[in-house]
Amino acid sequence: MSKIKLTDYVTEFLQRKGIHDFFGYQGTMIAHLVDSIEHNPNTRSHSSYNEQGAAFAACGYAQAKDACACAYATSGPGAVNLLSGVADAYFDSLPIIFITGQLNTYEYSGINGLRQQGFQEIDIVSMAKPVTKYAVQIREPQDIIRELNLAWQIANTGRKGPVLIDLPMNVQRGEVCDPVYDMEFPEEETETAVYGQKNSGNGAAFYRKAVDKADSADADVAAEDILCKLRKARRPVFMIGHGAAGSAEKNLVRIAREHHIPVITSVLARSVLSWDDPLNCGCIGGAYGHRYANMIANAKSDLLVCFGISLCTRQIGTKVHEFAKNAEIVRVDIDPYNLQREIHEGGKDEKCFCVSAEEVAEKLLADEKEIGSYGEWLSVCQRIRKELTQVDDATPERYPNRMIAYLSGQLGDTGAVAVDVGQHMVWSYQSFHNKQNQKLLFSGGHGAMGYALPAAIGAYYATGKPVACICGDGAFQMNIQELQWVKRENIPVKMIVMNNEALGMIRHLQRDYFDCVFADTSDGSGFSSCAFADVAKAYGIPSKRIQREEVEDASGEFLEQNGPGLLEIMLENGTYAYPKTCLGEPIHNQQPYIPKQIFDELMEI
What does the alpha-carbon distance between residue 604 and residue 598 come to, in Å, rounded to a whole number? 10
Per-residue confidence (pLDDT) for residue 525, from 0 to 100? 92
The domain defined by 214-391 folds into Rossmann fold (3.40.50)
Task: Give yes or no for residue 283 having a pLDDT over 80.
Answer: yes
Task: Give yes or no for residue 216 having a pLDDT over 80.
Answer: no
Domain boundaries, the chain: 3-181, 214-391, 396-570
505-520 residue pLDDT tens: 999 999 989 999 999 9
Q: What is the pTM of this model?
A: 0.95
Partners of 166 in beta bridges: 100, 137
Task: Give yes or no for residue 261 having a pLDDT over 80.
Answer: yes
Coil, helix or strand at residue 63: helix
C-alpha of 521 from chain center: 26
Decide if 3-181 and 396-570 have a common fold.
yes
Average pLDDT over residues 573-594: 91
Per-residue confidence (pLDDT) for residue 208, from 0 to 100? 64
107-111, 192-196, 197-201, range with the lowest pLDDT = 197-201
Helix axes 504-513, 423-431, angle to 10 degrees: 110
Return the percentage of the chain with pLDDT > 70, whole number.
97
Partners of 441 in beta bridges: 418
Task: Give yes or no for residue 204 having a pLDDT over 80.
Answer: no
Per-residue confidence (pLDDT) for residue 248, from 0 to 100? 96
The domain defined by 3-181 folds into Rossmann fold (3.40.50)
The mean of the pLDDT values for the chain is 94
Task: Give yes or no for residue 480 having a pLDDT over 70.
Answer: yes
What are the CA-CA distances from residue 496 to residues 225, 234, 239, 499, 506 (Å)? Answer: 46, 43, 30, 9, 21
CATH pick for 396-570 out of 3.20.19.10, 3.40.50.1860, 3.40.50.620, 3.40.50.970: 3.40.50.970
HSE-CB of 586 using CA atoms within 13 angstroms: 16
Q: DSSP letter for 514, please.
A: S
Task: Give yes or no for residue 22 having a pLDDT over 80.
Answer: yes
pLDDT band for position 499 (50/70/90)?
very high
Task: Give yes or no for residue 310 having a pLDDT over 70.
Answer: yes
What does the alpha-carbon distance between residue 309 and residue 352 come to, in Å, rounded to a whole number? 12
76-87 residue pLDDT tens: 999 999 999 999
Q: Kindly give the residue spans of alpha helices, DSSP state H, lying in 413-546.
A: 423-431, 452-463, 473-476, 483-489, 504-513, 532-538
